Chain A
Amino acid sequence: MHPSATTATPVTATAPDALPQVPHDIAPLLLVPLLALLMLPLVGSLPIWITLTVAGLAMGMMIFIMASGLTLIFGLMGVLNFGHGAFVSVGAFTATLVFLPLRGWLEVDSLLLNLGVLGLAILLAMLVTGILGWAFERVIIQPVYGQHLKQILITTGGMIVAEQLINVIWGAEQIPLPLPASFRGAFLLGDAAIEKYRLIAVIVGLTVFAVMFLVLNRTKIGLLIRAGVENREMVEALGYRIRRLFVLVFAAGSALAGLGGVMWGLYKETLTAAMGGETMVMIFIVIIIGGLGSVGGCFIGSLLMALVVNYAGFLAPKLALVSNILLMITVLLWRPAGLYPVAQH
């Protein structure tokens, strides 16, 4: 047979100028409103439903803040940081460096002053955890790059050491962290009580999500991160040093964990060194639900999980204990790689 007779088999029969379909995968987006609506008749009372839903959204936003960095870090480099929770604890404890000396200002019932102090605490916490994250990546992660087993062990070890160091620095007793005066209490929406701090948590969470969304979609660094999540080799083949990008994402992800830690600490109103480790379980569940590496999936997953926990806590308290796992299993049975699977991993 003459070689020139070989032509590739036509696989793509699309006419060259047909407009491509844009299949938006919206099913996961509908899950949160659908779940909320479905629960309304089950809960049976609109005010209680509103309270539960706001509580769930607030908790979900805080979990999202803590988890978003981890999912990006994993998406970009396949590094799973089991010590991510340490940054949550460190963030919360660092915030006490601002909260405790300025305790007087927190007791003043002035929203502006309270928000100022909170902002300062967040800034410091993010700065410290960001720098620590940068150092952690350099010292702890880089030597075991690409070796998953060692990564898990090393980062777990890092977590143990970090928890102990927090105990050494701040003492082993748990630290009470009362809410600033103007964040306390609830206001009424009709008959529904909405706690003020939960509203603040929702606002902060939405802000973080919006900023991340803008950075990832509108800036060159964001585009590079998204491209790298999909195919890091090709990003390198275009001439970008992905390691640099990764250190940046790692530091930013750690800073977000720190921010989440401050918010979570205020929510719990007490700090323990183990708080970060305890949140890791929730963080892992939401990033698995969302699809490892997907920020959007992580957002939906966080809200979904927190809402389920809150509704279940009201409807069937015993079930609430395992609702996380049941939710994860259900989602994975529907989509084995999570809500929004990311190609590379």
Chain B
Amino acid sequence: MLKHLLSDDLPRSRFLTVLLVLILFGLAFAPFITSGARPLNTAATICVYIVLVASYDLLLGYTGIVSFAHTMFFGIGAYGIGLGLASAGPFWWIAFSGLLCALLLTILLALIVGLFALRVRAIFYAMITLAVASSFAVLASQLSDLTGGEDGKTFSVPALLSPSFHLFENEVFGRIIDGKVITYYLVFGVALMLFLFLLRVVNSPFGRVLQAIRENEFRAEALGYQTIYYRIAANCLAALVAALAGALMALWLRYVGPKTMLGFEVMTDILLIVVIGGMGTMYGAVVGAALFMLAQNYLKTLMLQASSALVGVPFLAEALHPDRWMLWLGVMFVVSVYCFPAGIVGKLRST
């Protein structure tokens, strides 16, 4: 049963299994083992990023495509649901039709960019997606009538999901089951399903062809596979899942904005997580996203203490400033690419 759910792709490391189970339980019971808004926010962000990063892993780790347009699709999903709800009111059917429009736009753009640039080499695709995605982000932040510009837009969600909705009169295990908690479980459930779906995809015959293409495109072609179609299909699939992740993010935050949804920082976060977590493993997305978000939220406090302890030491005090935490992640990233190409998951599996 479990084996089937995981598509026969088991963690294959005792420590990794323990880690994954811990993350799963942590996320599943996050509303009850923590209190307050911040931990729940972290948990929801982890769920969304697991899906976002896993879908990117389908591209980078399994197909060998470097794309810088993943945030664009993430943003389209978010804006689709967000702008719909913001303009037409908090109704379920609006949310769904907004999402549907976003998915259509996603698949259209992914197809066009794919057809345009995937025929050429990986390097070309990376450049073109960077250019397209950054233009898209500029567009979203400048068309303020439609998108709310740099400030973005906040919106109300359907009543069931809004914080003022209470499912029960009383607290359950110390937490009031309000719309926020329901939204959390919506995010968690959809994220879990999407992750299992991606796991299924990479372990399907389709996924194996993708890996064959990554290993040796020439040979895959010689075996009769139209590699270009497989790559475009992978590209579209990854884009669709990213858009769904974006929709979850928007639903959770009840806000869409260019920095949160389309910024280049989001793209670098994805890259850092997938590489440090482990490319081509899927589980790397889970471990990476969880560690990254926990670090982002709690490591900074630690760095602040270290930095204030080192006030006066010229370089170190600056380098340990909480705003510089990206410096250390960047260094970790570069070291991982050289020394642990399969990231944390690969390291755990090999020991």
List residues of A whose CB falls within 8 A of some B CB. Answer: 78, 80, 82, 140, 143-144, 148-154, 156-158, 160-161, 164-165, 167-169, 171-172, 277, 280-281, 284-285, 288, 292, 318, 321-322, 324-325, 328-329, 332, 345
Q: How far is the CA of A321 from the CA of B132 in the complex (A)?
A: 11
Across the interface, do B324 and A281 meet the contact criterion of CB distance under 8 Å?
A: no
28 CB contacts below 8 A, A to B, read A80-B127, A143-B338, A148-B121, A148-B123, A151-B123, A152-B126, A153-B333, A154-B337, A157-B330, A160-B327, A161-B327, A164-B326, A167-B318, A167-B324, A168-B319, A169-B318, A171-B318, A284-B127, A284-B128, A284-B131, A285-B131, A292-B124, A321-B138, A321-B139, A322-B135, A328-B128, A329-B116, A332-B116
- Least Cβ distance of A46 to chain B in Å? 30
Q: Tell me the complex Cα distance, A71–B337, Å.
A: 25
Contact, CB under 8 Å: B334 / A148: no
Please determine whether A172 and B323 come into contact, CB atoms closer than 8 angstroms: yes
Within 8 A of A (CB), among B36-60: 60
Instruction: Give A157 to B66 CA distance when docked, in angstroms.
Output: 14
Q: Across the interface, which residues of A come within 8 angstroms of B124, CB to CB?
A: 288, 292
The reply to whether A328 and B131 contact each other, CB–CB distance below 8 Å, is yes
- The A interface is mostly helix, strand or loop, or mixed, namely helix
Query: Closest CB-CB distance, A284 to chain B, in whole Å?
Result: 4
- The residue on B at minimum CB distance from A82 is B126
Is the C-beta of B298 less than 8 angstroms from some C-beta in chain A?
no
State the CA gap A15–B47 with chains docked (Å): 72
The minimal Cβ–Cβ distance linking B165 to chain A, given in whole angstroms, is 40
Residues of B within 8 A of A157 (CB): 330, 333-334, 337
Is the C-beta of B64 less than 8 angstroms from some C-beta in chain A? yes
Known: A161-B334, A172-B323. A153 touches B131 (CB 8 A): no
CA distance A318 to B271 in the complex (A): 31
In the complex, what's the smallest C-beta–C-beta distance from B131 to chain A, in angstroms?
A: 5
- The CA-CA distance from A345 to B127 in the complex, in Å, is 15
Q: Which of B132-169 contact A (CB under 8 A)?
A: 132, 134-135, 138-139, 142-143
Cβ of A284: which chain B residues have Cβ within 8 Å of it? 127-128, 130-131
Say yes or no: B315 contacts A168, CB within 8 Å. yes
Contact A153 B66 (CB under 8 A): yes
Q: How far is the CB of B2 from chain A (nearest CB, A)?
A: 33
Residue B33 is within 8 A (CB to CB) of chain A in the complex: no
Chain B neighbourhood of A151, CB < 8 A: 123
* Chain A residue contacts of B138, Cβ below 8 A: 321-322
Give the distance in Å from the alpha carbon of A324 to the alpha carbon of B133 in the complex. 12
CB distance from A187 to the nearest CB of B (A): 33
Looking at the assembled complex, report how far the CB atom of A120 sits from the nearest CB atom of chain B, in whole angstroms: 26
Contacts of A171 on B, CB cut-off 8 Å? 318
Residues of A within 8 A of B326 (CB): 160, 164
Complex Cα–Cα for A172 and B307 (A): 15
Per the CB 8 Å criterion, the residue count for chain B at the interface is: 41
In the assembled complex, the Cα of A150 lies from the Cα of B271 at a distance in Å of 12
Number of A-B contacts (CB under 8 A): 102
Question: Which chain A residue has the least Cβ–Cβ distance from B329?
Answer: A160
Of B121, B126, B139, B321, most A-chain CB atoms within 10 Å? B126
The answer to whether residues A152 and B327 also contact, given A318-B142, A321-B138 and a CB cut-off of 8 A, is no
Contact of B331 among A161, A324, A329 (CB under 8 A): A161
Told that A80-B123, A152-B66, A288-B128 touch, could you supply 9 new A-B pairs with CB distance under 8 A?
A153-B275, A161-B334, A168-B327, A169-B318, A171-B318, A284-B127, A324-B135, A325-B132, A328-B131
A91 CB to closest chain B CB (Å) equals 20
Q: How far is the CA of A321 from the CA of B333 in the complex (A)?
A: 32
B337 and A153 within 8 A (CB): yes
Closest to A333 in B: B116
Q: Is the CB of B327 within 8 A of A165?
A: yes
What is the CA–CA distance of A281 and B66 in the complex, to the nearest angstrom? 16
A281 B134 Cβ-Cβ under 8 A: yes
CA distance A171 to B321 in the complex (A): 11
Whether B122 lies near A149 (C-beta < 8 A) is yes
Complex Cα–Cα for A27 and B324 (A): 49
B283 lies within 8 A of chain A by Cβ: no
Q: Say yes or no for B268: interface residue by CB 8 A criterion.
A: yes
Instruction: Tell me, rounded to whole Å, the shortest Cβ–Cβ distance linking B265 to chain A.
Output: 10
Which of B296-351 touch A at CB < 8 Å? 315, 318-319, 321, 323-324, 326-327, 329-331, 333-334, 337-338, 341
Contacts of B275 in A (CB 8 A): 153
Q: In the assembly, what is the distance between CA of A63 and CA of B329, in Å? A: 30
The residues of B that contact A277 with a CB separation of less than 8 Å are 264
Closest residue of chain B to A74 (Cβ to Cβ) is: B123
Does A280 contact B130, Cβ atoms closer than 8 Å?
yes
Q: Give the distance to chain A from B205, nearest Cβ to Cβ, in Å.
A: 24
In whole Å, how far is B49's beta carbon from the nearest beta carbon of chain A?
Answer: 18
What are the residues of chain B within 8 A of A280 when measuring CB–CB? 130
Least CB separation from A325: chain B residue: B135
- What is the bound-complex CA distance between A169 and B331, given in angstroms? 16
**Among the interface residues B121, B130, B334, which one has the most CB atoms of the partner chain A within 10 A?**
B334
- The interface bits of chain B over 216-229 (1 if a CB of A lies within 8 angstroms of the residue's CB, else 0) are 00000000000000
Determine the residue in chain A with the shortest Cβ distance to B143. Answer: A318
What separation, in Å, do the CA atoms of A149 and B125 have in the docked complex?
11
In the complex, the chain A residue whose C-beta lies closest to that of B214 is: A149
Residue of A nearest to B323 (CB): A172
Is B135 a contact partner of A321 (Cβ separation < 8 A)? yes
Q: Is the CB of B268 within 8 A of A160?
A: yes
A171 to B, closest residue via Cβ: B318
Check if B327 sits within 8 Å of A149, measured CB to CB. Answer: no
Cβ-defined partner of B330 (8 Å) among A164, A169, A285, A332: A164
Across-interface contacts of B323 in A (CB, < 8 A)? 167, 172
Q: Residue on B with the closest CB to A292? A: B124
- Determine the distance from Cα of A164 to Cα of B315 in the docked complex, in whole angstroms: 12
A322 & B139 in contact (Cβ 8 Å cutoff):
yes
10 residue pairs, one from A and one from B, having the closest CB atoms: A164-B327, A160-B330, A161-B330, A157-B334, A284-B127, A157-B333, A281-B134, A168-B318, A325-B135, A152-B66
Within the complex, the shortest CB–CB distance from A312 to chain B, in Å, comes to: 13
CB-based nearest B residue for A170: B318
Shortest distance from the beta carbon of A162 to any chain B beta carbon, whole Å: 9
Q: Which A residues are CB-close (under 8 A) to B66?
A: 149, 152-153
Cβ of B281 to closest chain A Cβ, rounded Å: 15
Alpha-carbon separation in the docked complex, A322 to B327 (Å): 32
